Every structure is written in structure tokens, then in C-alpha cells.
Structure 1
């Protein structure tokens, strides 16, 4: 099943919002930050690599490197233990998930404190990192809608190919 990254983003964010319903919001990583209503989460695909396993359907299999940032305010009411527990809960809800999509399962990689954006200095942020293999592009077998073969013929090498059409046997549907 081929995916568009927008569909993947929406599926992951919906899953996280449903499973971690104590979050005030789950959104894409913003271009600019305002005041955040915490706790909240930001999801993004950081990068991707070509998968070693290609399906030969015309699609490209890629392994996405994904990151879920969980932010809590530093109001003095939130302990570092609570933030770590929230990151652990997110890790458990992400690992082995398909997010409602017809794809392989996501694999949790790591979780760690995150302090790489000065706009988030007033928040306690943890990053939950995971990888997920998906297919992108057009599946060549999906190009013909509702394609269903009407005949299946079988031959055994070396008596196969255009020069041996009479050597093929038709399989009957039982």
C-alpha cells in the first residue's frame, strides 16, 4: 500500500492523540512557537533511507526516521520523573503500531531529553524516536482498477514463453 507523507502524518497524530488523551494537542512541528498549552506533542518525519527490501511493484520502500516531541511547561508543578513517564508511555503506544494503515509495524528506537530549539527553553521536552518502513509512489498493480485475472495458465521451463504457448495448461477455478 503506497502512502503519501501527509496521510502518514495524519494517521500518526490521530493515533497519538487517541492513545495519549492527556495531551492537550498533537500537531506538526511548527515553524514558529507561541505560548503552548501543555502537555502537548509535536510529530515529524526527520529523514528517511532506502529500505533494503524493495517490493518490485513500482513503489519505493523507505524507512522513515520519526520523532515525537512531548513538551511540559516548567511551572514547578511538573517533575522530571513525570516527563520521563510521559515519554515512556508514548514509547509504549508507538512501538509495534501500524497507526491504522496497511503497513509494517513501527519500531521504537530511543527516548531522550531534547533541548535543540531556543523557542522551547521554557518547556521540559523529551523526544521519542522511532523508525517505520512504508512504500511511496504508485503501485503498478493498482493502476488498473478492480483488476482480476480471468485466466491463469502454467508451463514448466524450458517449455515456456511465446514459442511454447501450446505447452501451457489452464488452471480451472474450483
Structure 2
């Protein structure tokens, strides 16, 4: 049984992974909310849409294929800015493909492609490439999951079967037995 993810958590997880693992990025921001000058090189991450996934859990949750995009913005002050941003897009493409971004319950991402971006006039002062990918996630709460399992944090110490919910206890019970 998979716990559904909230899109805010997914967005935060991808953004944090990018900042932690793509060391040449100075910042990762949301777009199109970004306005004004940005600290480059910068990644601008967005979920641009979704559609139903091929597999549905049948438990009240919804499996979706998210359409995602990371814009990479570089300064144009260097003569090699077009080559630099293109190489960065290639490097990011390699990192994105087959990546779950350390987010529990999401399927590995599949790269769709990368290309120069000219669709965002607010970024005309930068060299920008777009890396697009799709990723399957499950959203919502299972109708069959016990209410006490949905609420609160559960903990297992050295579980034999990490997928066996009976090996996990509410955090309050685990804390009480540790005292």
C-alpha cells in the first residue's frame, strides 16, 4: 500500500534533491512565480500538468503521470554561455532520467527531452534551456488504510519485512517503550 504524495511535497523534494546533488546550481526556484534577477546558474522547476497513469491502485487513490520541466538559466555575460547552458542541460538530463529524487512512493522519472527555451519572456536576459520529464506518482489517501495508520508517524526498529505494516508502531508507543 502506497501513501499518496501531496504535490507540494513532491515539488519540495525535487527542488531539494536538485540543490543537494547538482552542485553547479546556485539556486532552485519555482516558476513562473520568480520575478526579477535570479542567482545563476539557476534551476526553475515546475509541474506543468498531469494525466492519469496507466495503472490505478483501485483503493480511492489516483495514480498520475506528472509532466515536469526544469529550466536552466545561465548568465549571458560569458562568450560561451550557449555552450555552457547546453552542456548543463545535457548533464541534468542524465541526472533526471530514471531518478526518484529520494521521494518515497514515486516511480523513476523518464526524460522526454531538452531544448532551448524561448517561451518565458521574463527570462530573456538569460541563456535558458528546458529539460522535460514525466514521473508517475500516487496522490490521495487509501480508502482501505486504517485511520490510525494515516494519522501520525509509525516506527519500526530493524523490521524483517519493511512492507509489513504490523511491524510498525505509532511513534508515541515506540517512545514510551524506549523510556
TM-score, scaled relative to structure 2: 0.77
Are the aligned partners of 1:65 and 1:129 in contact in 2 as well (CA < 8 Å)? yes
Aligned residue runs from structure 1 range 136-147, under 5 A:
136-146=139-149
Match of 1:131 in 2: 134
Structure 1 residue ranges (4+ consecutive) displaced by more than 2 angstroms after TM superposition: 76-79, 140-148
Correspondence for 2:56 among 54, 57, 65:
54
Work out whether 1:8 is the aligned partner of 2:2: no
Which whole-Å CA distance do the structure 2 matches of 1:50 and 1:143 have between them?
25
Where do residues 7-156 of structure 1 align in structure 2 (5 Å cutoff)? 7-101=9-103, 102-146=105-149, 148=166
Inter-partner Cα distance in structure 1 for 2:116 and 2:140: 35
List gaps (5 residues or longer) in structure 2: 150-164, 167-179
Q: CA deviation at 1:93?
A: 1.0
Q: Note the aligned Cα RMSD (angstroms).
A: 1.5
- The number of aligned residues is 148
Quote the Cα distance in structure 2 between the aligned partners of 1:9 and 1:32: 15
Distance (whole Å) between structure 1 residues aligned to residue 144 and residue 100 of structure 2: 22
C-alpha separation between the residues in 1 aligned to 2:146 and 2:77? 55
Aligned 8 A contact 2:74 2:81 in 1: no
Structure 1 residue runs of 5 or longer lacking an equivalent are: 149-174
- Checking the alignment, whether the CA contact within 8 Å between 1:106 and 1:132 is kept in structure 2 is yes
In the alignment, is the contact (CA less than 8 A) between 1:16 and 1:93 conserved in 2? no
Larger Rg: 1
Tell me the TM-score normalised to structure 1 length: 0.80
